[in-house]
């Protein structure tokens, strides 16, 4: 599994600006755009919640709508008894991916010059999507073990021990499918828009950019929904 993760991390599309920290090479542009997204979310959360009113107004309305949406998503996927403790995790995943995807569709990252490489949405880099998928895997393992203890691992031999290899393989394919689905869709969307802009720079790319905004939002929703479904499955009691 470790070698597989290292091989995935070596996948490169485009040029990269590397930072050497000790013995590690880090994609500098991914950190820059990731912290840009995190900063946007932090600023929005601070500005919207510093003064809370009994009757929501302005950005507080939007915050409460987003919270209610994520709570409903978590309740649907995880269940009414357990969902509350998972709202922060699913909300963080959804908002980070959503803003990251939209930053790639709306912001002209390519116009910003860096010493080497090119800026793009954080989710345009497979290292980011693999990290998000592995966090999801850790979350549903943690949820299952916290609730069931070592009994959680009996799921691998249900409904019959013959399915043990397939059930183990399923846990390896979940993060792979999550990461490659998100990475592939965001990369493809940005490449299509970039090609159209270079060919017909004014009118034609606009519908594709609007479609990109829609698909970017859907990808964030799919990721958060699947993460919730995996967590709900891990903590579900089988009788």
Question: How much is the average pLDDT of 184-209?
Answer: 69
Task: Name the average pLDDT for the chain.
Answer: 81
Reported as a pLDDT band with limits 50, 70 and 90, residue 8 is very low
Composition of the chain by helix, strand, coil, percent to 5: 75, 5, 20
pTM flag (> 0.85): no
**For the chain, percent of residues with pLDDT exceeding 70:** 79
- Rounded Cα gap, residues 83 and 85, in angstroms: 6
Reported as a pLDDT band with limits 50, 70 and 90, residue 201 is low
- Rounded Cα gap, residues 145 and 110, in angstroms: 44
* Per-residue pLDDT at 6: 46
Q: Is the pLDDT of residue 200 over 80?
A: no
- Rounded Cα gap, residues 66 and 122, in angstroms: 22
Q: With beta carbons less than 8 A apart as the criterion, state whether 70 and 221 touch.
A: no
Closest CA to 122 of 7, 27, 30: 30
Query: Would you tell me the crossing angle of helices 126-148 and 205-235 to the nearest 10 degrees?
Result: 20
Q: With beta carbons less than 8 A apart as the criterion, state whether 63 and 43 touch.
A: no
Cα Rg of the chain, angstroms: 20
pLDDT, tens digit (0-9, with 9 covering 90-100), for 29-62: 788 889 999 999 999 989 888 887 777 777 888 8
**For the chain, percent of residues with pLDDT exceeding 90:** 27
pLDDT, tens digit (0-9, with 9 covering 90-100), for 53-77: 777 777 888 888 999 999 999 999 9
């Amino acid at each position: 599994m470790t070698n597989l993760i290292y091989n995935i991390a070596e996948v490169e599309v485009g040029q990269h600006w590397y930072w050497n920290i000790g013995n590690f090479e880090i994609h500098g542009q991914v950190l820059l755009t990731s912290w840009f997204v995190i900063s946007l979310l932090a600023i929005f959360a601070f500005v919207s919640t510093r003064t809370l009113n009994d009757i929501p107004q302005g950005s507080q309305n939007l915050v409460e709508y987003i919270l209610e949406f994520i709570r409903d998503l978590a309740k649907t996927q995880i269940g009414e008894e357990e969902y509350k403790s998972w709202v922060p995790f699913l909300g963080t995943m959804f908002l980070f991916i959503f803003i990251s995807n939209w930053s790639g569709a709306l912001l002209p990252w390519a116009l910003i010059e860096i010493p080497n490489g090119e800026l793009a949405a954080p989710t345009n880099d497979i290292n980011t999507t693999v990290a998000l998928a592995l966090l999801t895997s850790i979350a549903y393992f943690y949820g299952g073990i916290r609730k069931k203890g070592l009994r959680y691992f009996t799921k691998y031999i249900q409904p019959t021990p013959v399915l043990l290899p397939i059930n183990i393989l399923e846990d390896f394919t979940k993060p792979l499918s999550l990461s490659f689905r998100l990475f592939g869709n965001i990369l493809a969307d940005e490449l299509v828009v970039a090609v159209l802009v270079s060919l017909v720079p004014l009118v034609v790319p606009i519908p594709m950019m609007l479609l990109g905004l829609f698909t970017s939002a859907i990808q964030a929703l799919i990721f958060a929904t699947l993460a919730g479904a995996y967590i709900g499955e891990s903590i579900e009691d089988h009788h």
